[in-house]
Structure 1
Amino acid sequence: MPKAYVFTRYGGPEVEALVEVERPAPGAGQVLIAVRAAGVNPVDWKLRTGYRRPGERGERDFPAYFGNEVAGVVEEVGEGVEGFAVGDEVFGRPVVGGYSEYALLSVDLIAHKPAGLSFTDAATLPVAAVTAYDGIRQLDLPAGATVLITGAGGGVGVAAVQIARARGLRVVGVSSEAKKAFVESLGAEHVPSGPGWTERVPGSVDGVYDLVGGEVLAEAATLLTDRTKLVTAGAPPEVVEKLGGSRVARVRTSEGLTAAADLVVDGSLDPRVTRTFPLERAGDALRAVEDGHARGKIVIEVAV
């Protein structure tokens, strides 16, 4: 039986387990893929604690799969699927599966993987890179403007800095002092986080893309004269709306996936995968992100 890394109830790392599961069967409009790589994101451990995404309803079934972005090879196609066939290399958001040997994906949230894109890099795009792409596009700043990105050293931040730079923006990246060289290597001007960080921001700011939330978001808002240019992926809508900004509007279609892949292929975006782990060490991969010290992206690679 195939294996998957799951959580058996809400809680901490003690509720995680690598277990054997039934191989999923694709329904109408779905494909089953053999997973080659799965991206690791903060939302993964947050969901384990009981966090609900904005608008999410209903009870979660246990055991619940970890993982929200995968890349792999199509094994089966469901009824009514067009444009995808067995053997195609694809990536996207799983409906079932994630840190697993097999996953189900809806054709609405899947894209063909370009030949020049590795499975490992492709697995970083559906959540991190597409979230970054959506946020920078939503700000819609003109070339030459300045965008400030909080959490610039994390998975989404790494992509956001590079996408902003590709659009001709000046980027100020806020992160820990330990990530200074890393953030600067992406093309951003670094501002160390911590008390009084807004006083260290060089020059004026035209837009903010917040990936942290909390007090950092509130402090970042004070840097703007036009609060409509405040976008967050780190706080709920009701929090940022009180500050005059908005939650990032996710475009959950294949369009964003393809756009992100094209940026990697043309050299505008380097996913900066800094560590990989086998499926058997999925817990270690998750700890690397949950501890908050990871630079770039962490990916789980599934052996063929």
Structure 2
Amino acid sequence: MPQAYIFTQYGGPETEALVEQDRPVPGPGRLLVAVRAAGVNPVDFKQRTGYQRPGQQRRALPAVFGNEVAGVVEEVGEGVTGFAIGDEVFGNPVAGGYAEYALLPVEVTAHKPAGVSFTDAAALPVAAATAYDGVRQLGLPAGATLLVTGAGGGVGVAAVQIARAEGLDVIGVASAGKKDLVESLGAAHVPSGPDFAEGVRSLAPDGVDAVYDLVGGEVLRAAAGLVADRTKLITAGGKDIVADLGGSPVVRARTAAVLDEVARLVVDGALDPLVTRTFPLDEAAEALRTVEEGHARGKIVIEVAA
């Protein structure tokens, strides 16, 4: 039987387990995909603790971890068009992706370009697509200055690169250990910490044109003071407080068209998913801890053997 990495109840790492499960069966509008790679994101462990987006139903337990995968179509459900058995695809699974098989809805599944590896493609549906949606939401003109907090993580490295491809000047806030990483993406680095705002002002004395926050909390509050137009303050990390600061959450499109766009950026060389470490499925726990404990540089991906 195929394997999957699950959580059996809401809580901490003690709820996790690698188990055998029946192979899923695709219903109408669904694809059964043999997973080749699954991206690891902070939302994965947050869902284990019971987090859910507004309007989203809690997942039935036990639940498979993971929100982005790349793989090969094994079966197509009723009414599916545009996809066939053997197609290489990537997208957002219906109910988890740390598994040998996953179900994908056609509306958030795209064809993987031949020039993009499964590992890189698995890093796109959550991290890169979130970055893309946010940069497009801000709608800044070329030459504007964007501040990205949490610039060394999966979404951050994509946001910096997409913004640079749009002709923006970028200031990235990240730990001192990620200085080289942030600067390699074409951004000016400011060390994270309680005084990061002073570091930003040393580079942009009049403040910045926009903020893309990926941290939340006090970092978001401090960053808000650096942008005069609060409609240009967006966050994927502090949705609970951003409205009080005059900003807004990142609005996710969640469409196959966006997936096509971020894949095109990879093919064109404008976006490197920066997968810095991979783990096999039987080491999914270690992969998740790497992200949960904040030790990840760039993107972490679980690779599943064919």
Shorter-chain TM-score above 0.5: yes
Segments of 5+ residues of structure 2 without an aligned counterpart are: none
1:35 aligned residue: 35
2:153 aligned residue: 154
1:24 aligned residue: 24
1:145 aligned residue: 144
Q: Separation in 1 of the partners of 2:86 and 2:3?
A: 21
Matched, 1:103 2:102: yes
Q: Separation in 1 of the partners of 2:169 and 2:12?
A: 39
* Range with bigger deviation, 27-36 or 43-52: 43-52
2:216 aligned residue: 213
Deviation at 1:289, TM superposition (A): 0.4
The amino acid that maps onto 1:279 is L
Q: Separation in 1 of the partners of 2:178 and 2:142?
A: 26
Query: 1:60-209 alignment to 2 at 5 Å?
Result: 60-201=59-200, 202-203=203-204, 204-209=207-212
Q: Separation in 2 of the partners of 1:227 and 1:211?
A: 16
Deviation at 1:178, TM superposition (A): 1.1
Matched, 1:235 2:234: no
TM-score norm. by structure 1 comes to 0.98
Deviation at 1:143, TM superposition (A): 0.2
1:245 aligned residue: 247
Deviation at 1:94, TM superposition (A): 0.0
Determine what percentage of the aligned residue pairs are the same residue. Answer: 72
Deviation at 1:60, TM superposition (A): 2.7
Matched, 1:256 2:255: no
1:27-66 deviations in Å (ceiling 9; x for gaps): 0000100000000000101111111223323x43111010
Deviation at 1:96, TM superposition (A): 2.7
Q: Separation in 2 of the partners of 1:96 and 1:207?
A: 34
Matched, 1:276 2:275: no
Q: Separation in 2 of the partners of 1:113 and 1:222?
A: 41
Matched, 1:14 2:17: no
Q: Separation in 2 of the partners of 1:4 and 1:167?
A: 39
Q: Separation in 2 of the partners of 1:14 and 1:156?
A: 27
The amino acid that maps onto 1:11 is G
The amino acid that maps onto 2:234 is V
Q: Aligned to 1:86, what secondary structure does the other structure show?
A: coil
RMSD of equivalent CA atoms? 0.8
* Range with bigger deviation, 48-57 or 251-260: 48-57
1:122-181 deviations in Å (ceiling 9; x for gaps): 000000000000000001000000000000000000000000000000000001111111
Q: Separation in 1 of the partners of 2:192 and 2:10?
A: 31
Q: Separation in 2 of the partners of 1:230 and 1:224?
A: 7
Q: Separation in 2 of the partners of 1:97 and 1:299?
A: 14
Deviation at 1:93, TM superposition (A): 0.1
Matched, 1:52 2:52: yes
1:223 aligned residue: 226
* Structure 1 residue ranges, 4+ long, deviating more than 6 angstroms after superposition: none
Q: Separation in 2 of the partners of 1:194 and 1:125?
A: 28
The amino acid that maps onto 1:110 is T
Q: Separation in 2 of the partners of 1:46 and 1:182?
A: 26
1:269-298 deviations in Å (ceiling 9; x for gaps): 001000000000000100110110210000
